[in-house]
Amino acid sequence: MKQIIECVPNFSEGNDMSVIRQITDQIEAVEGVRLIDVDPGKATNRTVVTFVGTPDEVCEAAYRAVKKASEVIDMRRHHGAHPRFGATDVCPLVPVSNITMDEVVVYARKLAERIGKELDIPVYCYEFAAFKPERRNLANCRSGEYEGLKEKLANPEWKPDFGPSKFNATAGATAVGARNFLVAYNVNLNTTSVRRANSVAFDVRERGRVMREGDPVTGRIVKDEKGNPVMIPGTLKKVKAIGWYIEEYGIAQISMNLTDITITSIHQAFDEVCKAAGERGIRVTGSEIVGVVPLKAMLDAGRHYLKLQQRSTGIPDSEIIRIAVRSLGLNDIHPFDPDKKIIEYILQDKSGKSLVDMSVTAFTEETASESPAPGGGSISATMGALGAALGTMVANLSSHKRGWDDRWEEFSDWAEKGKHYYAKLLQMVDEDTRAFNRLMDAFGLPKANEDEAQERKKAIQDATRNAMEVPLQVMQLCKDSMEVMKAMAEIGNPNSVSDAGVGTIAALAGVRGAFLNVRINASGLEDKEFVHKIIDKGEQIEQEAIRLEQEILKTVKEKIEKS
C-alpha cells in the first residue's frame, strides 16, 4: 500500500494567474504527484494550492514550488487582507493514508531544512513539526507578519528553525508544518434563516457561543476578570462552524471546518448537527464535502452507519462508500463522484493495464496468450483471493441470517478479516507479474564490460530474491486466510458450508502454486543461506495449509451429510 500525503501551500499572490501558473507548473512536473486544486483569492492576494502523492515526490514538488515562488513573488510589493510573512507563506504536509503523523513530521523537517539551506529562506516549523511549544501555533510563528519580520529575525528567541536569521526582503519567511487533514464540510438545512442556522452552528462548534445573563439572545454578555466574553463550549472538538445562506441553492447551511478528523469525524459532525437541528425544529436534508477527502474518512462513515443497522462491514469498499454517500446525503445538491472526491481514487492508475482491472475473460485470455506473464505466481494469488472472497461471502451471509441477529457483529468481524486477505492477495496478482518483469529486465541489462557485468549480476540477484519473496508472501496470505474458512465451516451459515470448502481448496491451491514459484526461482540465487531459509519457511506454510484443508473439509463433509 502506497504512502500518500497531501501538501497545501499558500502563496502570496492571488491576482496574477501567470505567476500562479509558473508555480503550479513546477508541481505538475513531478511524477507521482497530482495537483488537486488551485484556489486564488483576489482580496487576500493569496492562492491556496492542494496536491497529493507519495511523500518523497510531494516534498520535491513542494521544494520546487517554494523555489519558484521566491523567484516570481516580491514581498516588498505585496498587500492583501490575509496575514502573511513570505512568498510561500505556509507549507503544511498532511498524512492521508498508510503513513503516521510522526513519519510526516520527519518529512516536514527535512523539507524545511532543504528550503532554509538551499534557498536562504528563514523557516519556522509549526503544528506537529514544531521544535518548541510556542511555535506550534502558526499565528505565533507569523506574528508581526512580513512588515515586522526583519525585527523578529534579530530577536534570538525567534531564530529560525532552519535557514538564515538574515532578512530575505523578496521571499520573506516560510512556515513548514505537519498537521492533520482538514475537511471543509457543509450541512444543508430545510430553512433559509441564517439566524437559526447560526444557532445550530453555535451549538456544535468547539468555541460555542457567548454566555448571556437571562435571555440567551438579548441578555447582557457575561465577561471574565479580564473583560473577555465567557463562552459556552459547543459539543464538537476541533470544529469551527458558522451558519450562512447560499443563494445558489436557496438554503441555509452549517459551514464547518473539521480541523482534525481524527478527533471529530465527518459522520460524527453530521450526526451532531442532525441532533442539534432537530431540537430546534429544523431538518437536515443532506451535506457536501468541499474539496477532497481521504478514503478512510468515507469508509469510517460507511462502517458507522452499517453498524447502526447491525449489518456486516466486511463488504467491498465501493458498497461502504455508497452507504456513506446515502447516509450523509452527499448527493443532495450535486452528485458525489468518488473518483473525483476521494484522494486515493484520484491517484489511482486508470490506464487499465493492471491485471486485476481486467474482466475474467480478458484475464483468462491474457494468461493463455504467448506472453509469459501473468504466470503461475499471479494465478496462485488469484486462486487465493477467490478462496478468501468465498470465506468472506459466507461470513456476510451469516451476519444476515434470520434468527442470528445477536451474532451479526461476530460474523462482521470475520468478514472484515476475509476482506483483508482477499484485498492483499489481489495486490499480489500484479505484484508477482512485476517481480517477473523486474527479473527479465535485469537479464536484459548490458554486460559489455566488467562494470556493466557486475551491475547486471547484482540486479539479477536482487530481482531473483524479490521473485522468491513475493510468492512466499502469497503462500502466507493464502494459508492465513484459511482461518476464515475454518470458522465459517464450523459456525457459519450451514447452507453455505460448501462455499467455505471450495474457498479452502482454492486457498491451498494458492499455497502450493506459489511454492512452485518460490522453488523455481531459488535455483538462480547464489545466496544459499537465504534459499534454505525461504524453502524451509515455505515447507512449513505448505504443511500447515495441508493440515488445515484436511481439518476444514472434514467439517464441511460432515455438515453436508447431516443436511
User: Could you list the active site residues?
Assistant: 82, 432
CA distance 49 to 62: 10
8 Å CB contact between 380 and 474: yes
Beta strand 33-41 with 123-127 is: unpaired
Q: Show the cell assigned to 297.
A: 474518512
CA distance 535 to 539: 6
CA distance 383 to 387: 6
Examine residue 374 and say whether the peptide bond preceding it is cis (omega within 30 degrees of 0).
Answer: yes
For residue 236, give the DSSP letter: -
Phi-psi region of 127 (alpha: psi -120 to 50; beta: other; left: phi over 0): left
Number of H helices, E strands in the chain: 17, 13
8 Å CB contact between 264 and 238: yes
CA distance 389 to 402: 22
CA distance 450 to 502: 53
Question: Taking the alpha carbons of 523, 526, 529, 531 in that order, is the dihedral positive or negative?
Answer: negative
Rounded to the nearest angstrom, the gap between the alpha carbon of residue 344 and the centroid of all alpha carbons in its chain is: 6
The single residue listed with the C-alpha cell 458525489 is 336
For residue 78, give the DSSP letter: -
Nearest partner of 54 among 11, 116, 90, 2, judged by Cα:
2
Residues 6+ apart with CB under 8 A from 215: none
Beta bridge partners of 288: 186
Beta bridge partners of 95: 5
Give 164-222 as a DSSP string. -SS--TTTB-EEEEE----EEEEEEES---HHHHHHHHHHHSTT-EE-BSSSTTTSPBP
